[in-house]
Structures are given as C-alpha cells and as structure tokens.
Amino acid sequence: MWPLADGMAGTDTPVLLPIMAPRLQADCEPDGRITVAVWGVGTLATISFAGLAAPYRYGPNLIEAAQGGIYVAQSAPVMVIAGTMLRRLAPSTKASWWHKPAAGDAPAKASRKGNRRWLELAWGALALEQRGDDLVIAAGADLAEAEAALGLAVDAIIAEARAYVERCDRLPKADPLLRSMVIQGTHAALSSIRQDRHGQFAGLAAGQGYSSPARTYYRDGYWTLQPLLALAPEAVRGQIRLLAKGVQPDGEAPSAVILSGPAQSAAWDVFRKSTHPYVLEHARAGDWWSDHFDSPLFFVLTVGDYVRTSGDIAEAKAHWPLLKAIIERYVRMSGPDGLPKKPNNDRDWADNVYREGYVSYNLGLWVGALDAVAEMGRSVDPVFGNEAEALAKTARANIEAALWVEQPGTYADFRNSDGFVEDHVMADTLTLLRYDAVSADGAKAALETARTTLESRHNTTQPYGDWGVLCAYPPYKRPKDTRSKSAFAFRYHNGSDWPYLDGIYAEERLRRGLGDARYALTRWWQACLDSGWAGAVEYYSPPYGRGSLLQGWSGLPADVAVRYRDAIGSPHEG
C-alpha cells in the first residue's frame, strides 16, 4: 500500500479492511468475503459476495474500488457493499473461539422474502437486502435491532461513511504519509468508542482483537482516550464511570472490565468457571485478568486528565473514595523511600514478563497519579491532596538513586528486591519522563539513549535493518523473566515496535524541544503500509509479524502529531 495525497491509502492488491463502528465490526476482504460481528454480541456470519476490482483506495471503515466500494454507517449497525451481489451467507457456529453453545440453544434460523434475508442465532441476528447492485448488511443483538438498522438508505450510509473519514482528517495540510497516519490513528481512537443497542456509551474497545468478551481496559483505554479528551470528552466521562465499577474497595483493579451483553456474558461466565487457568486469572465475573499492578494508577490518571482538560470536578468528587483507596494501597506497598514495589508477577503492561521490585514504568505512573490527586485534592480534599503532594516529592527524590544506570545511560527496566537489575533500554521507562518523575538532565540522557539504541535506523547491532522503534534492546537477560511471546528476542515486549510507545517517545522529544520525532511518529505506519496492514497495528517486528489491527491506543502518535504539528518537520528531516 502507499499513502495518497488526500490521506487515503492506495493499493492494487486486495488487503483486509478491519471495520469498527459504534456497534458493527467486521473483517472485510474486498475480493469477496466479510465476517460480521456486533460489540457485546459476538460473531454472526461470514458472507461471500462478488469481488470488487482493483485499484482500491482505503480509508477508515471504507474502501473505494474501481467500481463500487464498501461503506459503513455510524448511526446504526449497517453497511453497504456497493457494486456487488450476494453469493453465500454462512451463519457462525459460535459467538467466539471460547463460546460453547448450550444444548438448549435454538439452531440458526435463516429466512428469505424477495431480496431480503434474515439470520437469527441464539446470541444475535443479521438482516441483508440486495438493492440493485448494492448489498446492504445490518446486524444486532436481535432481529429487531438488525431490521431497524436496515432501514437506512444506501445514500445515507455512504454519506455517513464519508463524513466519518472527514472527521478523522485532522492534519489535511500534512504530507501524504503523515496525513494518512493521523487519519488512521484518529480512526483507531474514535472507533474504540462503543455503544449498546440504545445508543448509550458501552466502553472503549482496545481493538478488534479484544472484543470478545467485550471489555474495556484501564491501560489501553488511558492511551486511547488521549485524543478523545478533545474530540469526545463525554466518552472519557463514560469510561471513568465504567472503570470505577471494577475498582475494589481496597484499591485493586483488574486489567479490564467485562461489558458484554446478556448472552455473551452468560456464555463467558460458563467458560471462565469451567476452564483452568481462566477461573484463577479472572477471579470475579466482571474481571478480565484480576489484580493488575498498573490498572488502579491508570484509573487515577484518567480521572485526573479528564478533570484537568474539562474542568468537570464532579467526577473527582464522585470517585474520591476510590482514588484515596488506590493511593493508600500503593503506600502500603512502599518503604520509607516512597517507591511502591511490584510483586513478582506478570500483571502490568508487560504481561509476558515477570518484573518484581522497583519497575520504572509503574513508578512513573505512581508519580503521575500522585500529582493528579494533589491537583484534584485542592478542590475536593485539601488535606489528602497535600499528603499526595508530599508523597510525590519523596518519590521523586529517590527514583534516580534506585533506577539510574550509568551505562547505557538510562533508567533500569526494573530492579529486583534481591539486587538484580534489568538494565537494558526499555521504552516503557519513558513514563518516568512523561510524568516528570526524574531530573531534566536524566530525561535528556535517557532520550538520547533511546534514540541511538531503540531507533532501528541507528542500531546496527540488531539484525533487521531500519524497520521501526524497538520497545526493548538488548533482549531480556534472563529467560526466567519472560514467558510466551516475550520469551523470543524481538517479539512482543522483548523488542517489537509498539506505536503507542512510539507516541510517548515522540512526545517527550517534542515536549522537551529536542525535535527529531518524525521517525517515531511515522516509521511504524510506513511499515503498516508496506505490509498491507490497513489500520493502526498493535505491535510488529520483522521476524514475527503483527498484533491486532485497528488498536485504539495506537492512535496516540496521531494525537501527538496534531498537538505538535508545527514542530514535526518535513518528510526529509529526521
């Protein structure tokens, strides 16, 4: 694929289009196949249609072909494939990979009248209509929702689809690569805003690959909502209220809160209770992976960012008992130095890595959360706000000694209680910089080390050439500290390029006046285009491919580019 002047992406090869709208989601291949699902409901069917001919122009939830195209509405779970005919409709046998339909569930029921077809499943429904050369596809939790969506005219569907592309086009004067990255990144963030069948907010989806069971994450949601603070503050407010339901009275919180509809929730609970180790990892019915070390801190940061940008102190007041409980929880995990120690588990962002003791990433979040509580406390609870401010001062005074590593000149990934130090260069340590938890000199040195070590264009000791920004280098020292995908060098947390981390890194360079941030903002998107990935990818690396498409938090580079548009420079700089 290649970037076009109007911010679209061109290709002569049919590649997968990931679709996410407020209710509808799908995987669509323009040469004749689409799998349709609904948020909180599950997968409904695979549809075959007469393929659309190249060349193609890809945009958010949209493909324009040589004749016809694919367009997705925003106001209802309905889309149109223009210039095609239906060939086959195959109902899904289950809502997701883990779903085991109950013995008493009614079998799929298909019916037809004229040019209209219906498909009813135990967990959802589909309605299709052939309108001349246009195939209209609608979906829902039941036939009533699908039928209502089918009432939208083709012209209205196309108009909504094009208006949505315009909404995502936040840097129309940028060069094609940067403009297309911003369009797709903004789409990743906006499309994460999900709705229930009544049009009410139903959480921020992490991405297409994280929708069953439907759930919303504390950490993924935090980075996803950064552009939404300006674009859709009401969604951020709704996210706070949903996440609050997962925070326990003692300040503990899971990785994510499950938000599925009744049928999917019931099916998930059966699977969770009957499958080891799921019943241990997901301890409560509403939890996705209970007790994550970073989640409570992200809840505090989310409330703090929302209050700071909106001026709506009511959310801080409403959730103040939870905010206090969270801070008190981490105080209990701290010693006199004010630095909370993480237990020896894999429950934070690097969830394939066992990090114990002082973890730079978490300590950056800790200082940021204390600052947020101190700021909100001035209006809500001055006494506790002052306590938080004092805790932040103590933490800042001790981080340098605990984590600075002279060679290679950065902050350690983690320092175990037994003295072991993982001193490679790790991108997630940049939370220390983002929340001003370290000295200006230390921050500047750490950014220079990241530039020379993590930017693959400058790192000649890694074997894959110029391909992006590594999240970690060199790989983890001890095999026992990693598991699953991260057990392999250059894979997942052990060296892949994560666009959200690229955004954090680029923003710190720009915020501190260092410039040379364009590479981090755009190299990952160039890799997506080169690979035919039509959407903001979760992560990737040359030997192992990509993660999920259309990942919400991968919209962070787009937001940074918009906010620092005058400091990024031309395509030939950096």
The tens digit of pLDDT for each residue in 284-301 reads 889 999 999 999 999 999
Ranges 17-21, 49-53, 257-261, 383-387: which has the least confidence? 257-261
Q: How confident is the model at residue 211 (pLDDT cuts 50, 70, 90)?
A: confident
Let me know: does 515 contact 509? Beta carbons within 8 Å. yes
Query: What are the pLDDT digits (tens) for 34-43?
Result: 999 999 999 9
Q: How confident is the model at residue 353 (pLDDT cuts 50, 70, 90)?
A: very high
> What do you get for the CA distance between the two ends of the chain, in Å?
23
Ranges 52-61, 92-101, 247-256: which has the least confidence? 92-101
Q: How far apart are CA 48 and CA 33, in angstroms?
A: 5
What pLDDT score does 188 carry?
98
Q: Domains in the chain and their CATH numbers?
A: 10-168 (no CATH), 172-213+454-574 (no CATH), 246-255+290-453 (1.50.10.10)
Q: How confident is the model at residue 48 (pLDDT cuts 50, 70, 90)?
A: very high
- Average pLDDT score over residue span 81-107: 93
Q: How far apart are CA 265 and CA 377, in angstroms?
A: 37
> Would you call 468 helix, strand, or coil by DSSP?
coil
Q: How confident is the model at residue 206 (pLDDT cuts 50, 70, 90)?
A: very high
What pLDDT score does 573 carry?
61
Q: Going along 351-476, which residue ranges are E strands?
A: 355-359, 404-405, 410-411, 414-415, 421-422, 425-426, 472-473
Query: What are the pLDDT digits (tens) for 560-571?
Result: 999 999 999 878
Q: How far apart are CA 398 and CA 338, in angstroms?
A: 8
Query: What are the pLDDT digits (tens) for 310-351?
Result: 999 999 999 999 999 999 999 999 999 999 999 999 999 999
Q: How far apart are CA 64 and CA 49, in angstroms?
A: 16
Q: How confident is the model at residue 266 (pLDDT cuts 50, 70, 90)?
A: confident
Closest CA to 117 of 87, 83, 94: 87
Q: Residues with Cβ < 8 Å from 248, sequence gap 6 or more?
A: none
Cβ-count burial of 154 within 10 angstroms (0-12 exposed, 13-18 middle, 19+ buried)? middle
State how far the alpha carbon of 177 is from the alpha carbons of 19, 132, 180, 201, 572, in Å.
Answer: 21, 37, 5, 32, 12
Let me know: does 28 contact 17? Beta carbons within 8 Å. yes
Q: How far apart are CA 78 and CA 168, in angstroms?
A: 20
Query: What are the pLDDT digits (tens) for 435-490?
Result: 999 999 999 999 999 999 999 999 999 999 999 999 999 999 999 999 999 999 99
Q: How confident is the model at residue 277 (pLDDT cuts 50, 70, 90)?
A: confident
Let me know: does 446 contact 429? Beta carbons within 8 Å. yes
Query: What are the pLDDT digits (tens) for 362-376?
Result: 999 999 999 999 999
Q: What is the mean pLDDT of the chain?
A: 96
Question: 332-335 contacts: CB < 8 A, separation 24 or more?
Answer: none
pLDDT of residue 574 exceeding 70, the answer is: no
pLDDT of residue 572 exceeding 90, the answer is: no
What pLDDT score does 105 carry?
85
pLDDT of residue 173 exceeding 80, the answer is: yes
Let me know: does 57 contact 64? Beta carbons within 8 Å. yes
Closest CA to 220 of 316, 294, 280: 294
> Would you call 159 helix, strand, or coil by DSSP?
helix
H/E stretch holding 518 reads helix 518-531
Q: Which residue has the higher pLDDT, 246 or 278?
A: 246
**Amino acid identity, residue 292?**
H
Percent of the chain with pLDDT over 70: 99
Closest CA to 87 of 41, 52, 43, 125: 52
What pLDDT score does 383 carry?
98
Q: How far apart are CA 383 and CA 393, in angstroms?
A: 16
Following DSSP, what letter does each residue of 357-385 receive, concatenated? EEEHHHHHHHHHHHHHHHHHHHHH-HHHH
Lookup: tokens for 368 = 């940021």
Which position has the token pair 């195939």? 135
Length reported for the chain: 574
- Average pLDDT score over residue span 54-78: 98
What pLDDT score does 220 carry?
97
pLDDT of residue 498 exceeding 60, the answer is: yes
How many Cα atoms occupy the beta-carbon half-sphere of 75 within 13 Å? 14
Ranges 34-48, 255-269, 481-495: which has the least confidence? 255-269
